[in-house]
């Protein structure tokens, strides 16, 4: 029974639940970003280059027996996704900086009393 209680406590901790939610949202966000990159950004950036080499799409790019088109698409996708995430994190950090840092609390009443006792003992 102890192991089940430990597992329940572990599974219901805030960090585990937060991580599960983050993974699910990350997967959904990844699908959105992948679609944006595959269907919008990559064609806009690569259409002139593909037309220049008379290729239909990236999958058609080969060098001998090596098909490097998919690899090139993956690299471009990674760079664009990394840049988008960089902008998101930068924006979040900028928003965090606007929050005024909490002023440190003054010494407690007990500390003040102890200081008075110390000072009076020194005299």
Rounded CA gap, 46 and 52, in Å? 10
Report how many helices (DSSP H) and strands (DSSP E) the chain contains, helices first.
Answer: 5, 2
The pTM assigned to this predicted structure is: 0.50
**Sign of the dihedral through C-alpha 45, 47, 50, 52:** negative
67, β-bridge pairs: 62
Per-residue pLDDT, averaged over 100-110, amounts to: 76
The residues, ordered by sequence, that sit 6+ positions from 96 with a Cβ below 8 Å of its Cβ are none
Range 2-122 has CATH code 1.10.1200: yes
- Please state, rounded to an integer, the average pLDDT across all residues of the chain: 80
Per-residue pLDDT, averaged over 54-60, amounts to: 73
pLDDT at 88 over 80: yes
What local confidence, expressed as pLDDT, does residue 117 receive? 92
Rounded CA gap, 81 and 31, in Å? 11
Rounded CA gap, 18 and 30, in Å? 18
Residue 28 confidence class, pLDDT cut points 50, 70, 90: confident
**Domain segments of the chain: what residues?**
2-122
What local confidence, expressed as pLDDT, does residue 45 receive? 77
What local confidence, expressed as pLDDT, does residue 15 receive? 76
Rounded CA gap, 62 and 77, in Å? 19
* Termini Cα distance of the chain: 62
């Amino acid at each position: 029974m102890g192991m089940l209680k430990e597992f329940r406590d572990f599974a219901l901790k805030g960090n585990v639940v937060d991580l599960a939610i983050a993974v699910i949202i990350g997967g959904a966000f990844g699908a959105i970003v992948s679609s944006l990159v595959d269907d919008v950004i990559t064609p806009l950036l690569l259409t002139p280059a593909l037309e220049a080499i008379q290729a239909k799409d990236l999958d058609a790019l080969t060098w001998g027996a090596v098909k490097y088109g998919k690899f090139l698409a993956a690299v471009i996708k990674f760079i664009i996704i990394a840049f988008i995430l960089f902008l998101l994190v930068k924006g979040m950090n900028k928003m965090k900086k606007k929050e005024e840092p909490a002023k440190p609390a003054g010494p407690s009443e007990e500390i003040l009393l102890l200081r008075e006792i110390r000072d009076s003992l020194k005299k």
